[in-house]
Amino acid sequence: MWIYEKKLQYPVKIKNPNPQLATIIITQLGGPDGELAASMRYLNQRYSMPYKEVIGILTDVGTEELAHLEMVAAIIYQLTRNLSEEQIMSSPFANYFVDHTTGVYTQSAAGVPFSAKYFAVKGDTITDLNEDLAAEQKARMTYDNILRLTDDPDVREPIKFLREREVVHYQRFGDALRIVQDKLDSRNFYACNPSFDKNCGKRQ
């Protein structure tokens, strides 16, 4: 069960519109390393995960990614509200505007719509957790790149918060991988798949 608190995880209060910046940040909404892909990845992986501690981590992080999705959407909305036609026409946002006006749509910075191809669920415990570790690093790197492209403190502060949480998620998935490896035969972590093989991980 989830309890929904009707406020953002970190406040987003942007005073100055910037449609060009919005077209960049939108990649963390619906791009390959964005928050929607992350939440779907973790919340779906947990069903085949054999260990309760790791299921708990995937549920916690996957749920938090939904909160991050809200934050990114709020940033995009606030960067594009109350735009004049001149502001729209003089920025790369014009192409987006034609299709979506100022609605918030899940796509990458390159304009590619969100796809389920962006996240993997293999049903193999170690494979999925390594996928998660890589995903968090890629998301952290994307936020680093966004921070390089803006000096607006109203944008930088929530983006810095999101970046910090990606680092924490990476650490938590590292803990999850250690939990799994501790339950397997250390001589060969890859001899079986504890998500499927019934006797996998029982020490001789």
pLDDT in tens, 22-74: 999 999 999 999 999 999 999 999 999 999 999 999 999 999 999 999 999 99
User: Does residue 189 register a pLDDT over 90?
Assistant: no
DSSP letter, residue 194: T
Please report, for the chain, the start and end positions of each structural domain, with discontinuous segments joined by +. Answer: 19-183
Beta bridge partners of 107: 113
Instruction: Give the pair of three-digit tokens for residue 17.
Output: 């519109």
Element of type H or E holding 142: helix 125-148
pLDDT digits (tens, 9 = 90+) for 74-104: 999 999 999 999 999 999 999 999 999 999 9
Residue-wise DSSP of 100-117: HTT----B-TTSPBP-GG
Per-residue model confidence (pLDDT) at position 204: 42
Instruction: Give the pair of three-digit tokens for residue 74.
Output: 């709020």
Instruction: Give the pair of three-digit tokens for residue 148.
Output: 């390089």
We find that the CATH architecture of domain 19-183 is: Up-down Bundle (1.20)
User: Does residue 186 register a pLDDT over 70?
Assistant: no
Lowest-confidence segment of 57-71, 108-122, 185-199 by average pLDDT: 185-199
**Could you tell me which residues come within 8 angstroms of residue 82 by beta carbon, excluding any fewer than 6 positions away?**
17
What phi and psi, each to the nearest 5 degrees, are found at residue 64? -65, -35
User: Does residue 187 register a pLDDT over 70?
Assistant: no
Q: What angle do CA 11, 12, 14 make, to 5 degrees?
A: 145
The maximal CA–CA distance of the chain, rounded, in angstroms, is 72
